[in-house]
A and B are shown apart, each in its own frame.
Chain A
Amino acid sequence: MRGHWFRRLATVGCVFVLAGGGGVAYAKHARHVDAGWLWYEGTDSGHVGEQSGTNTLVVQAAGDIDLRAYHTRMMSDDGQFVFAHPTSTPTASLNAYFLGSSTRTPIQISQPEPTDSPTLQNPTSLPTALIVAGTAGQRADLEQWTLSGKTVAAIDGKGRLRIGNITLDPVLVNGQVKLYALIGSNKQLIAQGAKR
């Protein structure tokens, strides 16, 4: 009889030990679970969890979030990677550094990887490395190159190249290319296709 009790007690004990951290964590953060968290781990200043009914995993820190791996892979089923920032900053910024240093390096878009699909060996299937997308009819520049905040070159809202304050606008008129330079409201023909 005593042996049966011992076995039962041992069984329950083992399962609890195996169940381990989860149960303890839930109890430890009961106030957060009560406050609408399906599960929660961490502290007020740094935590991970899921709020009930949101289907969203939240990883939040009052300071920085550091993710480190040999190879970092972000996955998104709808293809969207959103960079949200406060309204107090005008843009989101991407920067590259050597690990553990403040020495910056270039950000490289679409460097082929050793593990890329063999189909990429077929030139017709090679993707455009970078697409900068705007809305048809927009007036703002599509892309700018800046030095200390000053724009030195840009692709304007019509897809034209602007160098300094001069916009180059090649157009095809009756089969002849005419290259215009635009400065403000002034438009000047600077070159045209030679007649053959």
Chain B
Amino acid sequence: MRRLTLALAVAAAAVGFSCGTAYADGTVWWWLLGSDLNSGTIGQVAGATNVYVGNYYGGSSSTDFEGASFVREATDSYFEFEHGGGESSSMLLPETSEGAPTPMTIGKADGQNVTPLIVSGTPGITGDLQSWQLGAASQTGIDAQGLFRVNGIVLKPTMNHGEMTLQALLPDGSEQRLVPVGP
């Protein structure tokens, strides 16, 4: 009878993974749905106000959200995209459900007078604010002064004594004043 009692208790505990007691590593969950913290689960660690969705320990699993519209809200207005240390950036990849790549549209023509996109650099930044890459190379960018660079040449409009001039800054650090050509 003791064996039966023990077996029933163990079976109940196994089935009741989602109830929210201690997991194998000692993490205590207030509630947890799922089968394995190494794949797809959703839950809340005891004492925390964060809710985890997906793979708690990281790895090769995925999380798919599918709805008519995917709305994410953050009271503090921050939406972070964190990636593994082996990657140099977070990649936002729009595609059809069949996997064909498509453009990403930011903003829409709904009659509202709003700037759709702001790209913010940290004060003191020495690299580009934004760059455009073709393959691994980037010849085009907006640098930390907000100047446009293409083909390695930075175009710099300046005002000198009431006269507008267009300067070209070359990769070797030299400057050329661009003089209009033509009739």
Spell out A's residues near B (CB within 8 Å).
Answer: 8, 11-12, 15-16, 18-23, 25-26, 38-39, 41, 48-50, 55-87, 90-95, 99, 103-113, 120, 123-124, 126-138, 142-144, 146-149, 155, 157-161, 168-172, 176-177, 179, 188-194
The number of chain B residues with a CB under 8 A from chain A is 121
Cβ < 8 Å to A, chain B residues 80-115 = 80-84, 86-100, 102-110, 112, 114-115
CA distance in complex: A127, B81 (Å): 14
Per-residue CB contact flags for chain B residues 43-81 toward chain A (1 = under 8 Å, else 0) read: 000000111011100111111111111111111101111
**Contact status A65-B70, CB under 8 Å:** yes
- Of the A-B pairs whose beta carbons lie under 8 Å apart in the complex, a sample of 10, sorted by A's number, is A25-B18, A38-B35, A59-B64, A67-B72, A68-B72, A82-B93, A83-B94, A87-B98, A104-B107, A191-B178
Give the contacting residue for A56; candidates B64, B106, B178; CB below 8 A: B64
CA of A123 to CA of B126, assembled, Å: 6
Complex-state Cα separation, A21 to B125, whole angstroms: 51
**Closest B residue, CB atoms, query A52:** B35
Chain B residues within 8 Å of A, Cβ to Cβ: 1-2, 5, 8-9, 12-13, 15-21, 31, 33-35, 39-42, 49-51, 53-55, 58-76, 78-84, 86-100, 102-110, 112, 114-122, 124-135, 137-141, 148, 150-153, 155, 166, 168, 170, 176-182
B63–A189 touching, CB < 8 Å? no
Looking at A69, A73, A80, A128, the one whose CB has the most chain B CB atoms below 10 A away is A128
- Quick one: given A74-B80, A138-B134, are A69 and B73 in contact (CB under 8 Å)? yes
Q: A22-B18, A109-B118 are in contact. Are A77 and B84 (CB under 8 A)?
A: yes
